[in-house]
């Protein structure tokens, strides 16, 4: 689940009024990172099964049911159901976010039928023994147009660029510049309204992790240090970067209704580089 760049996910203003250095960024020790990896393995298994269920003719709620089954089997707690209040019946109504084509993130699983040629972003997070994992992938269903296929490949590679460049001593803006530059050079836009986030005991922790460089980031840059764990989640689009939230209060779509892709991993900064915690290893 992505983080809105302005204010908290509940729509209230939070960090924008305060300098980021005043907010607590918690570093995790090796044992805590391994606990997050266990959570990450469950996330990976859920996304694997959701991906397999992502076929033409299936509904998005059938995809969602695969992740719920993994929660039931493992005893892990889903992070999305009832977010942000976690009061039953309030907040996000499903286990996963399933977002098709022009839907960028936070699509609500339901009766929408997946069709051949669709791209389907599946986003899932869970908590096990107090520690969270969060990941997303985009599934290409059947015969996807070459230009849209390139959008997905590019967005996935943007996440890979982050993995290759996260290491202690770097500033996040250095990584974000490489990510944004790759997407733009390939001819795609980077969605600016939603960003990645720190993650640990909670799904959304400080800092906010944009996939682009802004004056705001440069003014309040993030020093990458061992033990920092980030959910990095590039969202790229074919046309305009403008997005809006639909009347359901959740689904984020491109305003020009052209496709967008979304990939995410939970990544821990280590002493000499980084480790992906949601790749199933
Ligand atoms: Mg997510
Ligand atoms: Mg996330």
Q: What's the 28 CA to ligand 1 centre distance in angstroms?
A: 20
> Using 50, 70 and 90 to split pLDDT, how confident is the model at 6?
low
Note whether residue 88 is domain-resident.
Answer: yes
Ligand 1 centroid to Cα of residue 268, in Å, is 15
Is the pLDDT reported for residue 15 higher than 60? no
Ligand 2 mean position to 18 CA, how many Å? 22
Distance 148 CA to ligand 2 centre (A): 23
The confidence score (pLDDT) of residue 16 equals 42
Calculate how far, in angstroms, residue 2's C-alpha sits from the geometric centre of ligand 2: 4
Ligand 1 centroid from CA 264, angstroms? 6
- Ligand 2 center to 116 CA (angstroms): 27
Q: Is residue 259 part of a domain?
A: yes
Classify residue 281: in a domain, yes or no.
no
Residue 11 lies in a domain: no
Per residue in 17-74, pLDDT (tens digit) is 334 444 689 999 999 999 999 999 999 999 999 999 999 999 999 999 999 999 999 9
- By the CB criterion, residues less than 5 angstroms from ion ligand 1 are 1, 123, 134, 136, 264
**Ligand 1: centre distance to CA 134 (Å):** 5
pLDDT digits (tens, 9 = 90+) for 157-178: 999 999 999 999 999 999 999 9
| pLDDT tens figures, 180-230 | 999 999 999 999 999 999 999 999 999 999 999 999 999 999 999 999 999
Q: Cα of 227 to ligand 2 centre, how many Å?
A: 18
Q: Looking at residue 19, what is its pLDDT?
A: 42
Q: Please give the distance, rounded to the nearest whole angstrom, from the Cα atom of residue 220 to the centre of ligand 1.
A: 23
Expressed as residue numbers, the domain containing 153 is: 27-276
State what percent of residues in the chain have pLDDT above 90.
Answer: 89
Question: What is the rounded distance in angstroms from the CA atom of residue 83 to the CA atom of residue 167?
Answer: 31
Q: Kindly report the number of other CB atoms within 10 A of residue 214's CB atom.
A: 15
CA distance 97 to 248: 13
pTM of the model: 0.93
How much distance in Å is there from the Cα of 133 to the middle of ligand 2? 9
Instruction: Tally the domains of the chain.
Output: 1
Assess if residue 22 is contained within a domain: no
Nearest-ligand number for the alpha carbon of 194 = 2
Distance 106 CA to ligand 2 centre (A): 10
Cβ neighbours of residue 214 closer than 8 Å, sequence gap 6 or more? 192
CATH code: domain of residue 116? 3.90.230.10
Q: Answer positive or negative: Cα dihedral of 248, 255, 196, 214.
A: negative
Q: Cα of 124 to ligand 2 centre, how many Å?
A: 8
Cα(52)–Cα(201) distance, rounded to whole angstroms?
A: 29
Banded model confidence at residue 3, pLDDT cuts 50, 70, 90: confident
Residue 196 lies in a domain: yes
135 assigned to some structural domain: yes
pLDDT of 14: 39
**Pairwise CA distance, residues 211 & 227, whole Å:** 20
User: Relative to the alpha carbon of 204, which ligand is closest?
Assistant: 2
What pLDDT does 17 receive?
Answer: 39
Q: Is the pLDDT of residue 9 over 70?
A: no
Residue 56 inside a domain? The answer is yes
**One-character DSSP codes across the chain:** --EESSS-TTS---GGGS-GGGSPPPP--HHHHHHHHHHHHHHHHHHHHHHHH--TT-BHHHHHHHHHHHHHHH--EESSTTTTTT-TTSS--SSSEEEETTEEE-PPPSSPBP-TT-EEEEEEEEEETTEEEEEEEEEE-SS--HHHHHHHHHHHHHHHHHHHH--TT-BHHHHHHHHHHHHHHTT-EE--SEEEEE-SSSSSEEEEE-SS--HHHHHT--B--TT-EEEE--EEESS---EEE-TTSS-EEETT---EEE-BEEEEE-SSSEEESSS--
Alpha-carbon span 243 to 195, nearest angstrom? 13
């Amino acid at each position: 689940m992505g983080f809105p760049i302005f204010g908290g996910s509940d729509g209230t203003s939070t960090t924008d009024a305060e300098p980021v250095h005043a907010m607590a960024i918690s570093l995790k020790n090796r044992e805590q990172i391994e606990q997050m990896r266990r959570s990450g393995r469950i996330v990976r298994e859920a996304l694997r099964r959701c991906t397999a269920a992502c076929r033409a003719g299936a509904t998005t709620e059938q995809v969602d049911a695969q992740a719920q089954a993994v929660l039931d089997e493992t005893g892990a707690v889903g992070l999305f159901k009832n977010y942000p209040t976690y009061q039953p019946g309030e907040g996000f109504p499903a286990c996963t976010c399933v977002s098709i084509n022009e839907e960028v993130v936070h699509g609500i699983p339901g009766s929408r039928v997946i069709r051949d040629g669709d791209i389907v972003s599946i986003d899932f997070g869970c908590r096990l023994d107090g520690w969270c994992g969060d990941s997303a992938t985009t599934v290409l269903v059947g015969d996807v147009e070459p230009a849209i296929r390139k959008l997905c490949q590019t967005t996935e590679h943007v996440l890979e660029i982050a993995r290759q460049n996260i290491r202690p001593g770097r500033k996040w803006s250095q990584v974000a510049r490489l990510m944004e530059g790759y997407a733009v050079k390939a001819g795609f836009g980077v969605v600016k309204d939603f960003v990645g986030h720190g993650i640990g005991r909670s799904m959304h922790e400080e800092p906010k992790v944009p996939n682009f460089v802004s004056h705001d980031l440069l003014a309040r840059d993030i020093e990458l240090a061992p033990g920092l764990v980030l959910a990095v989640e590039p969202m790229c689009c074919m046309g305009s970067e403008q997005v809006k939230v639909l009347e359901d209060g959740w689904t984020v779509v491109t305003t020009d209704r052209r496709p967008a892709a979304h990939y995410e991993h939970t990544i821990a900064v280590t002493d000499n580089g980084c480790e992906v915690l949601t790749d199933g290893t």
